[in-house]
Structure 1
Amino acid sequence: MTVRGRLLDAQTRCVHWGSVLDVVAIRLACCTPYYPCRTCHDEAADHPAVTWPPGSEDETAALCGVCHERLTIAEYLSCDNSCPRCGAGFNPGCRLHRGLYFG
């Protein structure tokens, strides 16, 4: 799988969000690559971002940057800020931006 954007490390941190908890990359409905953040998508993609519509909960659209396991939208949205596979902590502030990715 491909992760695009201005990455800082192999755990999907980018120049926009680089804390120890910023280890999730998300695939938008409009394209195949994962991006560490919406700004990375907007800078690197040649098209406007399209959020996942309601009813897409079974789509694989999140990637843990620590264990590199892919998560469905439902798994990601219900994970309580940690990877259900490896337990890595995710940034709880990302909840504020979910509307940029999921409808």
Structure 2
Amino acid sequence: MTRVVGGRVVHGAVIDGETRCAHYAGPDDVLAILFACCRRWYPCHACHDADASHGARVWAAGDGAEHALLCGRCGATSSIADYRASGACGACGGAFNEGCRRHHHLYFA
């Protein structure tokens, strides 16, 4: 299943227009990640693993300027560095799930 959010196609088990998915559907689970391996947007690592025909690759430590985060609330993208420095969208101010930090190793070096 796919959804278009902020003009970008988000792949995986997306269940609403704010990028919540079958795996993470809390009120602040509104962040999609551009995966470095395939340059496709997914709500989470489990959505990528279920949909993609390859293993995930994390963004390198030097890729902080890459706009690889998509806010499901407003459709704005954020750089990896800005996302890691804040728990909210820089455009709309909406909070992201603080628990996502436990999964950073799955996305970022």
For normalisation by structure 1, the TM-score amounts to 0.96
CA distance in 2, matches of 1:82, 1:60: 15
Q: Pick from 77, 87, 90: which aligns with 1:84?
A: 90
CA distance in 2, matches of 1:25, 1:12: 6
CA distance in 2, matches of 1:52, 1:32: 11
The CA deviation at 1:73 is: 0.5
1:71 aligns to 2:78 (yes or no): yes
Q: Alpha-carbon deviations, 1:81-101, whole Å to 9, x = none?
A: 111110111000001100000
Percent identity at matched positions? Answer: 45
The CA deviation at 1:32 is: 1.8
1:5 aligns to 2:12 (yes or no): yes
Aligned to 2:5: none
Q: Pick from 2, 6, 19: which aligns with 2:26?
A: 19
Give the length in aligned residue pairs. 102
Corresponding letter in the other structure for 1:102: F
Q: Alpha-carbon deviations, 1:13-63, whole Å to 9, x = none?
A: 000000000000001110121110000000011111000011000111000
For normalisation by structure 2, the TM-score amounts to 0.91
Q: Pick from 47, 56, 69: which aligns with 2:54?
A: 47
Specify the SS of the correspondent of 1:19: coil
Structure with greater strand percent: 2
Aligned to 2:4: none
Q: Which sections of structure 1, spanning at least 5 residues, go unmatched?
A: none
Corresponding letter in the other structure for 2:90: P
Moved >6 Å (runs of 4+): none
